[in-house]
Amino acid sequence: MKILQFFTLLIIGLLMVILVNSMPMWANGERNSLLREELKENYQLWRSQQLKNYQYIYQKRCFCPLPTNEPLKVSVKNDKITQVVNLNNNQVITDLTLANTIEELFNIIEEGIQRNADELLITYDPTLGYPTRVAIDYQKILADDEITYTVKNLSKLN
């Protein structure tokens, strides 16, 4: 009788462990579906604007060397970054890779979803659809892997 009770408890315990460990995958799957749908809707809204020439204030927050964390004024022409200005000192930055275009930010969001980031918080502009804030923490247990991108004051360039 005691052996039967032992195996019954063992099986119940194993089933509980399987259930508890599967729950985050279900939750992440549902969360990722919602994130993908939101991404798709906003990307379509952004593309419908047909903005190829625009500028905006961009900031990337991470455990990265300066001037990466500085607020930058970014100019984009024909979907390519043409100028980056450090707003703290008004110096033109020659390394155009310090900023991302709006298209690249959409790609970063997609990558975060594909990599199943532990935390992915996105805010989109309700009128134009572009991401105004993207906060990613790929692994909560790791320190210093968090990264946040912000975009504000986006305006069309001629």
140 pLDDT higher than 90 = no
Of the ranges 37-51, 60-74, 95-109, which one carries the lowest mean pLDDT score? Answer: 60-74
* Domain map (residue ranges) of the chain: 2-156
Distance CA 153, CA 59 (A): 12
Distance CA 102, CA 116 (A): 21
On whether the CB atoms of residues 62 and 148 are closer than 8 A, the answer is yes
Question: If you average pLDDT over every residue of the chain, what do you get?
Answer: 87
CATH 2.50.20 fits 2-156, yes or no: yes
Range name among 21-30, 33-42, 79-88 with the lowest pLDDT average = 21-30
* Prior bond of 126 cis (ω within 30°): no
Rounded to the nearest angstrom, the gap between the alpha carbon of residue 12 and the centroid of all alpha carbons in its chain is: 39
N- to C-terminal Cα separation, the chain:
83
For residues 17-45, give the mean pLDDT: 74
pTM attached to this predicted model: 0.79
Percent of the chain residues topping a pLDDT of 70: 85
Would the pLDDT of 14 be above 60?
no
pLDDT of the residue at 142: 72
Tell whether the model's pLDDT for residue 17 goes beyond 60.
Answer: no
